[in-house]
Amino acid sequence: MARDKMHGGGFLSTWSDATFRPGALFSRAASKRSRWRPVPFALVVTAAAWSLGALAVGASPSTALAVLIAAPVMALASIHVAAALIHAWLVVVRGRNAGFGETLACVCYSSAPTLFSVVPLVGPIVGAVWQLVILIVAITRVHRLSTARAALAVFVGAAASVLLTLGLRAGFIEAFKVPGGSMAPTLMVGDHMFVNKWVYGPFIPFTGERFFSNLPPRRGEAIVFRFPENERQEFVKRTVALPGDTLEAVNGRVMINGWLAPHCHVGKLRHEGRTAELYVEYLDDKAYFTLFDTDPDEQTCSTSDECSAGLSCHGGICGVGRGPFKVAPGEVWVMGDNRNNSHDSPHWRGGLGAGVPFRNIKGRTMFIWMSFGPGGEVVEDRLFLDLDGAPEVVGLDAELAPRVDACLRNRPPLSETTPPRGSSPQGPE
């Protein structure tokens, strides 16, 4: 009893027992193993290991703090999934001799060697192997199995967990790192976001193909896709035109079937050492930021005769137009929100223009789960930013916030933000 009390006390004694004396730890009754319950123990170990590991590889304190906050959330899901898969295998092969709570305790306490991952290079490998060994010992004692059967349960559970993770990534949700500034200020370099891969039709896991590829995105939705000219590259842009539409880009503005998408001027924005013009643009039921090097509405007109040399009248403004481009069946055309600094549909094929085939679309942007600034620091106010809702003033000059709110309050009705139909049927083939 004295030994149970001594080793069933604080966090450090629990960690020491789990790491170096797992056989003794799991030979005790559940109520006498530790005052630290299994799940809180695993969450603290994971949070400490990940945050200290971030510091060890040179991350800033703010980054380590963000990792410290995020780690328990991610660990909570992973330990329950791992325990469920191992327990399910034990049930199938009739090797279960204890309840799910005991299997969960095995997974949780076996996370103790995760702390070794703070050692660069070898630490993560040593920690992972050590963790598997402890888990096998724990399953052996708790479920009263042979070492071979316990090891099989652990490895089957680990393999199933990996396959499940890969399957979710391949078919449902995938993380994506923003590679450039073509979608600024909606998406910034250093943003890490999740992409919903199911929204345009189910993916076949591990193949990168859909069961059917005839569900197009809606206008105004930001999508991730394989670049048609080099499918090894993945881009993120905003859908602006659907099959049957005729698209023109006038000073970077969207014109569909002769209709100019309305927008609202917010003000001047300091971006990457320069001043740009920030707008809120409306397309169908979406509102989103657009950025221009200069004011795209500087000169209005009713005919081209009223425009300066080299410019023509398009939708009531003088400017330089690209197009018109006809959107073919089975594809959409896309543009970046940073209109003068985006390699997008009107510029592809050497300026001839091209669309994105439905089969190349991977999914729709969801939310930002992590964001790093130019110096590697975490940009905390961009964390969990919803990318499918109304544009939010994040990291912008404070005086711009009320102007954005005013643009959203006074947004035109849907009838004025929906372009007329094209001359050929819209939608898939």
Residue 70 has pLDDT above 70, yes or no: yes
* Overall fold of domain 173-417: Umud Fragment, subunit A (2.10.109)
What pLDDT sits at residue 427? 35
The rounded distance, in Å, linking the Cα atoms of 333 and 360 is 12
The letter for the amino acid at 232 is R
Q: Per the structure block, which two tokens stand in for 115?
A: 């702390």
Residue 7 has pLDDT above 60, yes or no: no
Q: Per the structure block, which two tokens stand in for 101?
A: 């709570």
> What are the helix and strand counts (H, E) for the chain?
10, 18
Residue 266 has pLDDT above 90, yes or no: yes
Average pLDDT, the chain: 85
> What's the gap between Cα 20 and its chain centre?
38
Domain residue ranges in the chain? 2-170, 173-417
Residue 323 has pLDDT above 90, yes or no: no
What pLDDT sits at residue 236? 97
pLDDT, greater one: 74 or 283: 283
What pLDDT sits at residue 314? 87
Q: pLDDT tens across 346-381, in order?
A: 999 998 999 999 989 989 998 888 888 887 787 878
Residue 90 has pLDDT above 70, yes or no: yes
What pLDDT sits at residue 428? 32
Q: pLDDT tens across 12-38, in order?
A: 999 999 999 999 999 998 888 999 999
Tell me the pLDDT band of 300, cut-offs 50, 70 and 90: confident
Q: Which of 225, 207, 222 is nearest to 170 (CA)?
A: 207
What pLDDT sits at residue 3? 43
Q: Which of 157, 164, 161, 166 is nearest to 135 (CA)?
A: 157
What pLDDT sits at residue 67? 73
The mean pLDDT of 295-311, rounded to a whole number, is: 87
Tell me the pLDDT band of 262, cut-offs 50, 70 and 90: very high
- Is 245 in contact with 327 (CB distance < 8 Å)? yes
The rounded distance, in Å, linking the Cα atoms of 8 and 294 is 68
Q: Residue 84: CB partners within 8 Å, gap ≥ 6? A: 100
What pLDDT sits at residue 395? 66
Residue 331 has pLDDT above 60, yes or no: yes
pLDDT, greater one: 393 or 327: 327
Residue 118 has pLDDT above 90, yes or no: no
E strands, 52-151, are none
The mean pLDDT of 139-164, rounded to a whole number, is: 83
Q: Residue 389: CB partners within 8 Å, gap ≥ 6? A: none
| Three-class secondary structure of residue 47 per DSSP | helix
Tell me the pLDDT band of 72, cut-offs 50, 70 and 90: confident
Residue 297 has pLDDT above 80, yes or no: yes
Which of 46-50, 189-193, 214-218, 405-409 is predicted least confidently? 214-218
- Percent of the chain beyond pLDDT 90? 45
Tell me the pLDDT band of 58, cut-offs 50, 70 and 90: low
Which of 9-23, 166-180, 213-227, 334-348 is predicted least confidently? 166-180
- Give the burial string for 393-403 (b: 16+ CB within 10 Å, else e): bbebeeeeeeb
Q: Which of 254, 240, 287 is nearest to 407 (CA)?
A: 287
Which of 172-186, 357-371, 382-396, 397-411 is predicted least confidently? 382-396
DSSP-derived secondary structure for 344-383? -GGGTGGGT---EEGGGEEEEEEEEEEEB-TTS-B-GGGT
